[in-house]
Amino acid sequence: MNKEQKKQYIDNMSSSFDKIESVIVTHYQGLTVTQLDDLRKRMREYGIKFKVTNNRITKLALENTKCKELSNLFTGPTAVALSEDAITTAKILTKFSKENENLKILGGIMGTDILDVAGVKNVATLPSLDEARAKIVGILRSPAQKITSILLEPASKIAILALEKSKK
């Protein structure tokens, strides 16, 4: 890289680190090109960027961002996952690291919280936004379904139910 390309790389990475909701840092040593392409493909489906980084220049890009505490993780063959959805990113990386032991999760940041390896794995166990929405809808629908089923029962069953409730 020439000096202008380095400056542009630093500017692009700095703006990415400041705008993004989550960053997860990994080591990818030992992964084949095919495996890296497979990981990138999985992440692209969810709008996640997975970039192999130049450590020295990336540390310079981190200096004036909210992610500056991550700079000590940038040693060796490092790649970062940048996304708006930390949970999905953590799930994909955790699953991929179980399938391919050469991918090592080092840590990351979610919002303003610094995560270690255990923190990333804990985030991976959380329900995704869609799963959480489905659970909430299920909870909200349940009482309505019970009321509807009661109202659709014959009048005698409603009278029996009312009698039982009045005894309590």
The tokens 């919002």 sit on which residue?
111
pLDDT for 23-46, tens place per residue? Answer: 999 999 998 999 999 999 999 999
Nearest to residue 6, comparing CAs of 58, 49, 66? 58
The residues spanned by each domain of the chain are 3-126, 130-167
CB 23 within 8 A of CB 67: yes
> Which residue ranges of the chain lie beneath pLDDT 70?
144-145, 147-158, 168
What is the pLDDT at residue 61?
86
Q: What is the CATH number of domain 3-126?
A: 3.30.70.1730
Q: What pTM was estimated for this model as a whole? A: 0.73
How many residues would you count in the chain?
168
The amino acid present at 16, given as its one-letter code, is S
CB 49 within 8 A of CB 83: yes
pLDDT for 127-144, tens place per residue? Answer: 877 788 888 887 777 776
How far is it, in rounded angstroms, from Cα 112 to Cα 80? 17
